[in-house]
Amino acid sequence: MKVLVINAGSSSLKYQLFEMPEGRVLAKGLCECIAIEGGCITHKRPGKDNYKVEVQLDNHETALSWVLKLLADSEYGVIADISEIEAVGHRIAHGGEKLKRSCLIDDGVIKYLYSIVKINPLHGPPAIAGMEGCRKLMKDVPMVGVFDTSFHSTMPDHAYVYPIPYELYEQKSIRRYGFHGTSHRYVANRVAELMGKKIEDLKIITCHLGNGSSITAINGGKVVDTSMGFTPQEGILMGTRSGTVDPTIIPYLVGEGMTIDEVEKMLNKQSGLLGVSGVSSDSRAVCDAAAEGNPRAQLALRIQYYGIKKYIGAYTAAMNGLDALVFTAGIGENDALLRQEVCRDMDYLGIVLDGELNRTLPRGTEAELSAKDAKVRTWLVPTDEEFMIAQDTAKLASL
Ligand code: ADP
């Protein structure tokens, strides 16, 4: 069964065509600069040269029509006709309070997603545009929505209700939702498999550390807490986002003459690794600057390590124990120094790395990193959200 996975961002659209159930990737690619100057598509097929085409992409539907054309192209394609695509899976950042698991997309789902755009203003509109584009271009092909928030929907109310007036939760749906759920779900299930145990029998902390970062506590397969909240702004320091700060900083700065939009931009786009280091939002550049002795780059990294450490401690307490600690995503998979520093002096909790293995492991390899006899087993598991989406899509579309 061929399943197309679509991940639509505000000016980009990523795609992957899978052969399911085995999960073989037939082709994948990225459409960039949708609705702005400089549109281009990079189309990749395993074992073949990449193909790059520069083309004006007026909207997500135009981008999708190009994707379908490329997939079935006689020279660059991997299928004879788009009718071979039996289902489409959409990555959707926010499922709100109602969409708690992956589901077939119908009019009702799209209507609900429109109704929650207010709480998901950046990612909601492009995701809906991707779904509507597919509906037009691939009329009767079943579509499945896979939501970043849904894995977190098992959190108990004491983890998701903020200690502000309860009416704000009831009337305005202000609560912790959590994000990156598909990634946390994938790596948690994968680590259980690698350990040869049932996820129901494990206490796991998953650290998804990329440009955006979140940490999740999973007890018996169910999320009990996660660091991102009402938006992906909460939690640890990220590439350009501050993570959690004292909220009173906001009215204070407004009182000092900044507009609310400027404060929002500052917290979202000018903070985190970039804001503290003054170097870059890219952790590689910050690590290089720190290695050369830049004190602000060193400070930015220390804040990051310390933040992650505190969540691991808190979530171990929340679960009364920990069996597995997992690192994933761009930084988690590639940055050995970060893993070493986060796990330094954590032997009290039973976390001890094999330093040599952690340092020398080929980048992005699936592997256990803990020292022999460590009580907690620490793992590196490269994430694969697209495969998870393809799996859910194949399952729901076959019902
Ligand atoms: P996104 O949240 O955009 O999906 P990614 O998961 O791709 O982000 O992670 C991007 C981050 O991973 C960047 O900060 C980048 O510097 C970092 N990263 C990627 N490769 C390496 C590496 N080899 N060493 C350290 N950091 C890396």
**Percentage of residues in the chain with pLDDT exceeding 70?**
100
Q: Is 25's C-beta closer than 6 angstroms to any atom of ligand 1? A: no
Q: Given 148, 335, 384, 392, which residue is catalytic? A: 148
Q: What is the reported pLDDT for 121? A: 87
- Mutate which of 334, 340, 380, 386 for ligand 1 pocket (most atoms within 8 A of beta carbon): 334
- Tens digit of pLDDT for each residue in 28-61? 999 999 999 999 999 999 999 999 999 999 999 9
Q: Is 335's C-beta closer than 6 angstroms to any atom of ligand 1? A: yes
Query: Cα–Cα distance between 232 and 227 in angstroms, integer?
Result: 9
Report the side by side order of strands in the sheet with 377-380. 222-226, 213-219, 203-209, 324-328, 377-380, 367-368
- Tens digit of pLDDT for each residue in 100-145? 999 999 999 999 999 999 988 888 999 999 999 999 999 889 999 9
- Tens digit of pLDDT for each residue in 204-260? 999 999 999 999 999 999 999 999 999 999 999 999 999 999 999 999 999 999 999
Point out which residues pair with 146 in neighbouring strands.
91
Q: What is the reported pLDDT for 139? A: 87
Active site residue 246: no
Query: Cα–Cα distance between 47 and 43 in angstroms, integer?
Result: 12
- Tens digit of pLDDT for each residue in 305-360? 999 999 999 999 999 999 999 999 999 999 999 999 999 999 999 999 999 999 99
Banded pLDDT at 155 (limits 50, 70, 90): very high
Banded pLDDT at 292 (limits 50, 70, 90): very high
Q: What is the reported pLDDT for 142? A: 97
Q: What is the reported pLDDT for 157? A: 98
Which CA distances in Å does 333 have to 21, 236, 256, 363? Answer: 26, 17, 41, 7
Mean pLDDT on 194-203: 98
Query: Which atom of ligand 1 is closest in space to residue 213's alpha carbon?
Result: 2
pLDDT at position 363 over 90: no
Q: Is 284's C-beta closer than 6 angstroms to any atom of ligand 1? A: yes
Q: How many A from CA of 332 to the centre of ligand 1?
A: 8
Average pLDDT, the chain: 96
Banded pLDDT at 161 (limits 50, 70, 90): very high
pLDDT at position 368 over 80: yes
- Mutate which of 283, 342, 380, 386 for ligand 1 pocket (most atoms within 8 A of beta carbon): 283
Q: How many A from CA of 334 to the centre of ligand 1?
A: 7
Q: Where are the alpha helices (DSSP H) in 138-282?
A: 157-160, 166-172, 181-195, 249-255, 260-269, 272-277
Sign, CA dihedral 342-345-348-352, equals positive
Q: What is the reported pLDDT for 362? A: 86
Tokens linked to 362: 């080929």
Q: What is the reported pLDDT for 293? A: 98
Report the side by side order of strands in the sheet with 51-54. 51-54, 40-44, 24-32, 13-19, 2-8, 85-92, 143-147, 103-104
Other CB atoms within 10 A of residue 136 CB: 11
Q: What is the reported pLDDT for 399? A: 77
